A and B are shown apart, each in its own frame.
Chain A
């Protein structure tokens, strides 16, 4: 952290703004400003200063088949999410959504499993866990917990390998096309990963039990509105209606009738709210709370043990527990990938043929961080007429600010350094991917109140 952060609550009747560190260990850039009025929290502003890159603007005029390669570049951590979102939406626009063969849908789930594993493990162990265990980074954590970090890296590597099996590489994979895949893997290559998955499944279950029993989770309970895809027959991933725990239930195409995006001066990321209601939460905690009965058997067993260990049945309304939700989902993704690979036979065709046409379609899938929704209109020649992308972190932004408001009220007596740490920890509950909306964090806290005097110092 930078050294200019000696802010205490004021002794002089002035307003002070003190700059603290850039937020580390998130994927992107941003800043946090807390305006304190005495001991009360005034304004909470999560500034996203990730430079605008204008994807929706320059997608216009590109051929539909270029879109999965281009949108992947929105986020290097979750490129598959952007590929899956645009493929489903474009397949609706081009009239082939219902033609995708079941084995290709399975391969898409397999690809997504790889990304969930890679992204969840990266976030849990390299970015988030150091907060819980009191380290500034996984690099320092590795000095004391070397075996744990190495076991985690092994599982992350397997996630990368699953993505690479279908896409050649884990960052910006090249295998996905609208209609399916350029090439389906050979049965031999597919089976080659089963042994490693089995080993990593056991590892991940063990590590999760360790986390559940050893970590003390801070408590910040709120009455969230959780939003996720809710398919009838599987855990949320690629398909399903969009539902919430407070009665929202819409078709994919109606997503923007249910929620609205709005812009605030301090952020290049658009905020979102449910029309007429307000902030909501997407991501692992939402999925787990809404669809626990659709977890893979292995993950469901683990969830029962975890609930017992922490003494809290679902629903979990404390987002610090998202660490455990990610762990359970990692096991789900590994187990699902194993089932798909074990039963895998090279499909008769790797993609369905598509003829260009004018049309439009909207679809969201479950990125590791939550619903990532796309909408496209195509011209008769197959080029893109309009594009709209709603990434998960921007949807969570209003909820993060509300969480921070509640947290900040309890941090009045902390120095800025310590307060910033606590705020960062909370923000990392959301695994904010700031490339797609937010990167972090400069922390400022300003105080105003003539009568206020405090701090033990």
Chain B
């Protein structure tokens, strides 16, 4: 990948940070770089980052970080412009990469949702679905996590600046968990842990807190979801409905979590009929 290290006229490369439908947590992780953030300012020009600064430099930008999913007509339109403005476009976090928790509406009726939350739903402008950025425009790289790991953000920026591939693991949380030396919550406590099918990056936080992983970094590369799910159903008395809920959370709309969630929903319906 070509380095993003030089701006158009040899100046510092320009960084833009955008927000769509989200909680701001991934942008906050960028701010949570703290000392590293101040150092970062030395090597990139923070050209557009509304949460952090008022000044905006005009596009084009060398690197664009996008937080949030696409859930309104305005966002559908704006993401196209963002793509045109950025040389490299990177999604940061579960919302931008998978649609996020608000993608749960994709299995419901958004009209009914609006009526439930708002007395005057006609004032609310929204799309039927909340979708990942990659459903709308080409994305150069995706960073997982709800929220992203700030060290992965730093690794990604460093890699883009020198023109190498970012060193982001695609293996499962289990590998991290073993490295940390945590007792396996699945084997030793018999709890339904999504660690075997979830991408690493968090540092196996949940097993470290004595609870099963809930998949906030989304599916690992080629996960064997059905083998794990069937084992939960047979050995741990997890119901298909519970399995569906586990898969349909912060990354539920990202394949293959989506496909597997739909499968367990059908199973749930078959069993109840």
Contact = CB atoms under 8 A, between A and B. Distances in A.
Nearest to B185: A182
Interface stretch (B83-91, B205-213, B223-231): B205-213
Given A75-B24, A142-B38, A137 B55 contact: yes
Given A57-B108, A174-B209, A51 B75 contact: yes
Interface string B5-40: 000000000000001111111111101101100100
Q: Which of A63, A69, A433 has the most CB of B within 10 A?
A: A69
Interface in B39-82: 41, 46, 50-56, 71-72, 74-75
A168 interface: yes
A439 B119 CA distance: 22
Interface in A147-174: 149-150, 153, 156-157, 160, 167-172, 174
A29 B250 CA distance: 22
A140 B24 contact: no
A436 to B, nearest CB: 8
Interface stretch (B120-128, B171-179, B254-262): B120-128
Contact of B209 (A25, A27, A142, A168): A168
A79 B29 CA distance: 13
B104 A58 contact: yes
Interface string A345-386: 000000000000000000000000000000000000000000
B55 A52 contact: no
Interface residues of A, number: 72
Contacts of A149: 38
Given A76-B23, A171-B147, A172-B25, A136 B104 contact: no
B24 A27 contact: yes
B152 interface: no
B197 interface: no
A138 B52 contact: yes
B147 A52 contact: no
Interface string B200-225: 00110110111100101000000000
Interface string A46-63: 000101111111101011
B24 A57 contact: no
Interface residues of B, number: 64
B54 A77 contact: no
Nearest to A82: B23
A66 B245 contact: yes
Contacts of A268: 118, 123-124
Contacts of A424: 54
Given A122-B31, A139-B41, A183 B209 contact: yes
B146 interface: yes
A168 B206 contact: yes
A435 B120 CA distance: 20
Contacts of B118: 52, 263, 268, 270
A1 B209 contact: no
Contact of B206 (A54, A138, A174): A174
Nearest to A58: B104
A351 B151 CA distance: 32
A263 B28 CA distance: 29
Interface of A: 1-2, 21-29, 49, 51-58, 60, 62-63, 66, 69-70, 73-77, 79, 122, 126, 130, 136-140, 142, 149-150, 153, 156-157, 160, 167-172, 174-175, 177, 181-183, 262-268, 270, 424, 433, 435, 439-440
8 contacts: A2-B56, A57-B108, A76-B23, A122-B28, A136-B55, A139-B46, A150-B35, A171-B32
Interface of B: 19-29, 31-32, 34-35, 38, 41, 46, 50-56, 71-72, 74-75, 100-102, 104-105, 108, 110, 112-114, 116-120, 123-124, 126, 130, 146-147, 202-203, 205-206, 208-211, 214, 216, 242, 245, 249-250
